[in-house]
């Protein structure tokens, strides 16, 4: 029986040792990084769901890297399917190189490989450009006929209504802190720094009945699952949001999502979101110092954004306010202003990262054109290292400034304050008794 080994090299690569050398303790950040690293790789589980009965497969989470190659070789795979982010792509290339020594073919996909297929082709035997689902059947057929090609390009974006049910059964039972499902892909906005929103095509949506089926399948493995929606911007541009939320509500799940602050200006939608089990929403506020191109109506006044966030939190949904530092115009004063703004705000959770020009984004092209990209390996593209010349601060000033405000925003006092706030917010959630269990 032919066999596929699936290897996700995803998750956040926080340079924590180096950060700790600044005398910092970042519990919130560490937990978030760990949670992301442990999330199931939905893309690969979905490809596994497309395998016919003639195929067997195995799933190798990247946590087991010390024995990863030996574990994979032991399965005698006909192909190894690898997905990686920019920060982890060098690890993925090393893995492909190691497997090549054992004459095991590899296929790599994901946003980075989609943008830089020629680079990926130096290491992997096949590169998947675009949505993996669109070319996976052809790759499988070519493996069987021993005619694997160096590049597979999706001719059009994959229709999400045709998505198979992900193979949740490949995950070891009771080891999944949060499951992932995806309700949409892409985003109607086009923020300059964002790679996820456009590189695989326009915004597309899974029909509510499809989500109903996926949740039904997931609940066969976990009766009360915690879920993180692997969406780019849940509900944005969707005209059947209420139907989607009703479909989720039927399953009594609790979930985290990433959405647009403007949902807070539609109380009926926020009520439905809370009823459907949403307990936390990541909302991009981005920068107090800079207005990114392509943000659409994110250029609204900050007070309007914060009022919308209040409405979301008043309905029992904790908002994780996400900020990016280091945009053009950033100074030491603007960094200090941000730390004060966050401390004075009612944000119950916060995420701060440094502006990162991922390849394929407008931001990358702009900084490259301006000659401002530093000569740093992809492993630095981890959201915490600076990989470009800021326009006012020096690189070192920005790195030190980031660490300074992280130490303030994630101090023990600030963390305790936000923890209390989260508790208060969740007490007003319609599923509070359920969540408290
Ligand atoms: S709103 Fe979010 S998902 Fe959409 S383009 Fe901007 S950063 Fe990307």
Cβ proximity of 340 and 311 under 8 Å: no
Higher pLDDT, 36 or 275: 275
Query: Ligand 1 centre and the CA of 95: distance in Å?
Result: 31
> What ligand 1 atom has the least distance to the C-alpha of 196?
8
**Residue 256: pLDDT band with limits 50, 70, 90:** very high
Measured in whole angstroms, how far is the alpha carbon of residue 188 from the centre of its chain?
Answer: 17
144 and 195, same domain (yes or no) = no
The verdict on residue 310 lying in a domain is yes
Average pLDDT over residues 170-175: 79
Query: Ligand 1 centre and the CA of 387: distance in Å?
Result: 21
Residue 35 has a pLDDT of 54
Mutate to test the pocket of ligand 1, among 191, 202, 258, 362 (most ligand atoms within 8 A of CB): 191
**Atom 6 of ligand 1, nearest CA residue:** 191
In tens, the pLDDT along 155-168 reads 999 999 999 999 99
Measured in whole angstroms, how far is the alpha carbon of residue 156 from the centre of its chain?
Answer: 23
Euclidean distance between CA atoms 266 and 301, whole angstroms: 17
Average pLDDT over residues 247-272: 95
245 and 124, same domain (yes or no) = no
Q: Which residues, in sequence order, are CB contacts of 147 under 8 Å at separation 6+? A: none
**Atom 1 of ligand 1, nearest CA residue:** 189
In tens, the pLDDT along 383-434 reads 999 999 999 999 999 999 999 999 999 999 999 999 999 999 999 888 875 5
Domain span including residue 430 = 178-436
Of 118, 153, 188, the one marking the end of a domain is 153
The verdict on residue 169 lying in a domain is no
122 and 232, same domain (yes or no) = no
248 and 146, same domain (yes or no) = no
131 and 190, same domain (yes or no) = no
In tens, the pLDDT along 111-169 reads 999 999 999 999 999 999 999 999 999 999 999 999 999 999 989 999 999 999 999 99
121 and 47, same domain (yes or no) = yes
Residue 294 has a pLDDT of 65
83 and 223, same domain (yes or no) = no
Cβ proximity of 31 and 350 under 8 Å: no
Residue 394 has a pLDDT of 97
Number of domains in the chain: 2
Ligand 1 neighbours (beta carbon < 6 A): 187, 189-191, 194, 196-197, 232-233, 284
The verdict on residue 159 lying in a domain is no
218 and 124, same domain (yes or no) = no
Residues forming a β-bridge with 280: 256, 318
Average pLDDT over residues 300-320: 93
Average pLDDT over residues 247-258: 95
The verdict on residue 359 lying in a domain is yes
CATH number, domain of 24, equals 3.40.50.280
Higher pLDDT, 43 or 435: 43
**DSSP alpha helices (H): ranges in 103-235?**
111-115, 117-121, 132-144, 208-218
CATH number, domain of 206, equals 3.80.30.20
Query: Ligand 1 centre and the CA of 420: distance in Å?
Result: 29
| pLDDT for 436 beyond 60 | no
Q: What percent of the chain has pLDDT over 90?
A: 78
The verdict on residue 307 lying in a domain is yes
Average pLDDT over residues 212-234: 93
**Residue 254: pLDDT band with limits 50, 70, 90:** very high
- What angle do helix axes 42-49 and 132-144 make, rounded to 10 degrees? 50
In tens, the pLDDT along 272-282 reads 999 999 999 99
């Amino acid at each position: 029986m032919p066999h596929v080994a699936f290897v996700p090299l995803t998750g956040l690569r926080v340079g924590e040792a180096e950060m700790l050398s600044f005398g910092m303790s970042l519990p919130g950040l560490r937990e978030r990084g760990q949670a992301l690293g442990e999330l199931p790789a939905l893309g690969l589980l979905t490809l596994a769901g497309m395998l016919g009965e003639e195929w067997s497969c195995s799933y190798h989470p990247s946590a087991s890297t010390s024995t990863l190659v030996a574990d994979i070789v032991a399965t005698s795979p006909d192909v190894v399917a690898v997905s990686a982010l920019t920060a982890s792509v060098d690890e993925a290339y090393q893995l492909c190189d190691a497997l090549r020594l054992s004459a095991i073919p590899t296929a790599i996909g994901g946003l980075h490989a989609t943008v830089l297929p020629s680079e990926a082709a130096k290491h992997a035997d096949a590169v998947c450009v675009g949505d993996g689902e669109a070319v996976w059947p052809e790759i499988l057929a070519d493996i069987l006929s021993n005619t694997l090609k160096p590049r597979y390009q999706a001719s059009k974006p994959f229709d999400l209504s045709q998505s198979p049910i992900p193979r949740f059964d490949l995950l070891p039972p009771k080891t999944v802190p949060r499951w992932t499902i995806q309700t949409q892909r892409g985003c109607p906005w086009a923020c300059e720094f964002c790679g996820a929103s456009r590189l695989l095509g326009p915004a597309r949506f899974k029909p509510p009945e499809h989500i109903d089926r996926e949740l039904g399948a997931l609940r066969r493995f976990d009766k009360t699952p915690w879920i993180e929606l692997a969406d780019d911007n849940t509900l944005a541009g969707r005209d059947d949001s209420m139907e989607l939320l009703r479909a989720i509500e039927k399953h009594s799940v609790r979930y985290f999502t990433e959405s647009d602050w403007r949902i807070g200006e539609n109380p009926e939608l926020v009520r439905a979101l809370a009823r459907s089990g949403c307990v936390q929403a990541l909302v991009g506020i981005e920068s107090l110092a800079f207005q990114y191109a392509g943000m659409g109506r994110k250029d609204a006044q900050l007070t309007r954004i914060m009022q919308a966030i209040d409405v979301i939190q008043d309905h029992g949904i904790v908002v994780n306010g996400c900020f990016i530092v280091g945009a053009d115009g950033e100074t030491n004063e603007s960094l200090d202003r941000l730390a004060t703004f966050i401390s004075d705000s009612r944000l119950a959770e916060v995420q701060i990262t440094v502006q990162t020009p991922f390849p394929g984004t407008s931001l990358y092209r702009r900084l490259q054109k301006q000659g401002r990209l530093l000569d740093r390996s992809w492993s630095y593209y981890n959201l915490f290292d600076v990989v470009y010349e800021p326009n006012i601060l020096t690189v070192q000033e920005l790195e030190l400034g980031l660490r300074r405000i992280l130490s303030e925003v994630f101090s023990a006092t600030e963390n305790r304050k936000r923890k209390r706030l989260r508790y208060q917010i969740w007490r007003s959630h319609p599923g509070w008794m359920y969540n408290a269990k």
